[in-house]
Amino acid sequence: MTTNAPKINVVWLKRDLRLEDNEAIFKALETGERTLLLYAFEPMLMEDNHYSERHWNFVKESIKDLNQRLESHHSKILTIEADIISAINQLMEFFTIKDIYSHQETGILITFNRDKSFKRFCKNNLITWHETINNGVQRGLQDRETWTELCNAYFDTEPLPFAPLKNQLLHIDDIGALEALLNIPSLETPEESLFQKGGRTMGMKYLDSFLDKRYVNYMFHISKPELSRTGCSRISPYLAWGNLSIREVYRKAFFLKKTADNKKSLEAFMSRLRWQAHFIQKFEMEHTMEQESINKGFQKLKKEISERYQTAWKTGQTGFPLVDACMRCLNETGYLNFRMRALVVSFFTHNLWQPWQAASQHLSQMFLDFEPGIHFPQLQMQAGETGTNMLRIYNPVKNSLEHDPDASFIKKWVPELRDLDIPFAHEPYLMTEMEQQLYNFHLGKDYPYPIVEINETRKKATDILWNLRKNKKVKEESLRILKKHTLRGPKLTE
């Protein structure tokens, strides 16, 4: 870096791929200094087993959308393929960088360690790294004594505008000159895909259509595997990758409630937005749950690994139609509604008796809306290893009959069962030899026999887990968890 190199602020974008209501961008622009918006495709993260190509395509689509929105400001996102320290080092050859802005990321262990290294790097290079709160999640809390009040204050505050001064953002030509010297990844993504497209523009379309009409069916369709695909908001990936902020979504719903046709559905949606912040805060305060049971008493629980069971579950070949339909749908589209996510985790951890850690990376790769702060707490809840939540073991047949009564979801994703009458589509293993001949359908050939006996495995899991809950260590840990994570003070904003 030369002594007369121009001074700039850098905004390091991570899981906050938006311009509006982005405190890091707002704070950087507030200084009046020229500002560069940076995204780094970090090899260590792209190679991490929690992520897959569908995530990086969503990020690329989000960046392309940002670039379109930045055209009127004659700027764009500088997108580099490099770890963040290397990226800043390269930029320091051309600019004087004294301030870097980003949000506090509640990420996985690899990003936590990266941030610690980056903090040391900034200190050694006399750079001030300004980290801003993201979606109301607070760093450094030891309990929830003040969290509700802080969270309410966040939701009650107006979203932050994006209003750069003229020529404040680094000009697109200057960024083009940098791109010629740096390792710039392609932002091309498949044109045809069953995955939701990334970007704020698309996220706002989903949100607006939900708040315009679709929300009225929210409570009726939320548990239905097929109807939820339109009855739910479908904005979760846009929240997970930061195309939308929780606050702006919440406030839109809040003001609509005054004139809403179905206030209860809207209130249920708003409640889930608040609980999302609660779970991310939980993970922020107890990050070890990425790898270990939050209740240390359950860490003594050992389960025998079965590659056969796990492969059948991942590929949708368990012999239980609803489970298989869910897993195939997830693999193809990146989406399942909440109840079906709970069901497939319950089946894996209880009926197949596999450790939740063995499901973690596959599901995080498949969920387009993978959000660490939701992912790990929910996995442990559904696996029954918190000691504080009700033990729920979902019966796949009962849920199939209740939530997909005409078997439309099953037949869509398990086409082998498409020509069967509805009762057999739910339970093909009940077919006699004669019935299989009549349908020209053969169990074990066209579709697998059930991989386990559902009632026996349910009883085994129930007995073991309930007995463990009586364990002294489990009880002590349950009290510790409740003391640390129970919400106190005023209610969350209504």
The closest of 16, 2, 183, 153 to 86, measured between CA atoms, is 183
Helix %, strand %, coil % of the chain (to 5): 55, 5, 40
Give tens-digit pLDDT for 96-108.
Answer: 999 999 999 999 9
Q: Of 258, 281, 304, which residue sits at a domain end?
A: 281
- For 100, the token pair is 């870097």
Residue 425 lies in a domain: yes
250: left (phi over 0), alpha (psi -120 to 50) or beta: alpha
Pair 343, 458: CB distance under 8 Å: no
- For 29, the token pair is 């622009």
What is the predicted pLDDT for the residue at 135? Answer: 85
Pair 206, 235: CB distance under 8 Å: yes
Burial class (CB in 10 A: 0-12, 13-18, 19+), 433: exposed
Same domain, 259 and 374: no
Burial 323-349 (b: 16+ CB within 10 A, else e): bbbbbbbbbebbbbbebbbbbbbbbbb
Pair 101, 245: CB distance under 8 Å: no
What is the predicted pLDDT for the residue at 402? Answer: 97
Same domain, 104 and 141: yes
Pair 240, 375: CB distance under 8 Å: no
Same domain, 365 and 441: yes
Same domain, 363 and 457: yes
Pair 388, 294: CB distance under 8 Å: no
- The CATH number of whichever domain residue 326 belongs to comes to 1.10.579.10
Same domain, 269 and 324: no
- Average pLDDT on 409-415 reads 98
What is the predicted pLDDT for the residue at 64? Answer: 98
Give tens-digit pLDDT for 15-72.
Answer: 999 999 999 999 999 999 999 999 999 999 999 999 999 999 999 999 999 999 999 9
Same domain, 277 and 301: no
- Average pLDDT on 187-214 reads 96
Residue 290 lies in a domain: no
For helices 246-256 and 263-285, give the axis angle rounded to 10 degrees.
160
Supply the range of the domain harboring residue 459: 296-485
State yes or no: pLDDT of 81 exceeds 80: yes
Q: Of 256, 281, 306, which residue sits at a domain end?
A: 281
Residue 386 lies in a domain: yes
State yes or no: pLDDT of 489 exceeds 80: no
State yes or no: pLDDT of 187 exceeds 80: yes
**For the chain, percent of residues with pLDDT exceeding 70:** 98
Residue 380 lies in a domain: yes
State yes or no: pLDDT of 396 exceeds 90: yes
Cα–Cα distances in angstroms (integers) from residue 272 to residues 7, 253, 264, 266, in the given order:
43, 12, 12, 10
Phi and psi at residue 41, to the nearest 5°: -80, 100
What is the predicted pLDDT for the residue at 219? Answer: 93
Q: How far apart are CA 200 and CA 203, in angstroms?
A: 5
What is the predicted pLDDT for the residue at 418? Answer: 97
Q: How far apart are CA 414 and CA 324, in angstroms?
A: 7
Same domain, 129 and 211: no
3-state secondary structure of 463: helix
- The CATH number of whichever domain residue 39 belongs to comes to 3.40.50.620
What is the predicted pLDDT for the residue at 462? Answer: 96
Q: How far apart are CA 135 and CA 141, in angstroms?
A: 15
Pair 51, 45: CB distance under 8 Å: yes
Considering just the CA atoms, what is the radius of gyration of the chain in Å? 24
- Average pLDDT on 430-454 reads 97
What is the predicted pLDDT for the residue at 327? Answer: 98
- Secondary structure letter of residue 100 according to DSSP: E
- For 263, the token pair is 């206030």
Same domain, 20 and 54: yes
Q: How far apart are CA 453 and CA 242, in angstroms?
A: 42
Residue 287 lies in a domain: no
Same domain, 465 and 367: yes
- E-strand stretches of 140-296: none
- Average pLDDT on 214-235 reads 95
What is the predicted pLDDT for the residue at 322? Answer: 98
What is the predicted pLDDT for the residue at 3? Answer: 60
Burial class (CB in 10 A: 0-12, 13-18, 19+), 166: exposed
Pair 321, 403: CB distance under 8 Å: no
What is the predicted pLDDT for the residue at 492? Answer: 58
What is the predicted pLDDT for the residue at 389? Answer: 86
Burial 188-207 (b: 16+ CB within 10 A, else e): ebeeeeebbbbbbbbbbebb
Q: Chain centroid to CA 105: how far?
A: 13
Cα atoms in the Cβ-side hemisphere of radius 13 Å centred on 468: 23
Q: How far apart are CA 12 and CA 122, in angstroms?
A: 13
State yes or no: pLDDT of 491 exceeds 80: no
Give tens-digit pLDDT for 238-277.
Answer: 999 999 999 999 999 999 998 888 899 999 999 999 888 8
What is the predicted pLDDT for the residue at 98? Answer: 97
Dihedral (CA of 169, 171, 172, 178) sign: negative
Confidence of residue 487 (pLDDT cuts 50, 70, 90): confident
- For 146, the token pair is 């003040």
Of residues 312 and 391, the one with the higher pLDDT is: 312
* Strand order across the beta sheet in which 35-41 lies: 78-81, 35-41, 7-13, 96-103, 128-132
Same domain, 224 and 319: no
What is the predicted pLDDT for the residue at 2? Answer: 54
- How many domains does one find in the chain? 3
Burial class (CB in 10 A: 0-12, 13-18, 19+), 361: middle
State yes or no: pLDDT of 394 exceeds 90: yes
Q: How far apart are CA 335 and CA 366, in angstroms?
A: 8
Confidence of residue 136 (pLDDT cuts 50, 70, 90): confident
Residue 204 lies in a domain: yes
What is the predicted pLDDT for the residue at 283? Answer: 93
Supply the mean pLDDT for the chain: 95
Same domain, 161 and 223: no
Q: Of 179, 214, 241, which residue sits at a domain end?
A: 179
Confidence of residue 422 (pLDDT cuts 50, 70, 90): very high
Same domain, 399 and 310: yes
Residue 286 lies in a domain: no
What is the predicted pLDDT for the residue at 303? Answer: 95
Residue 453 lies in a domain: yes
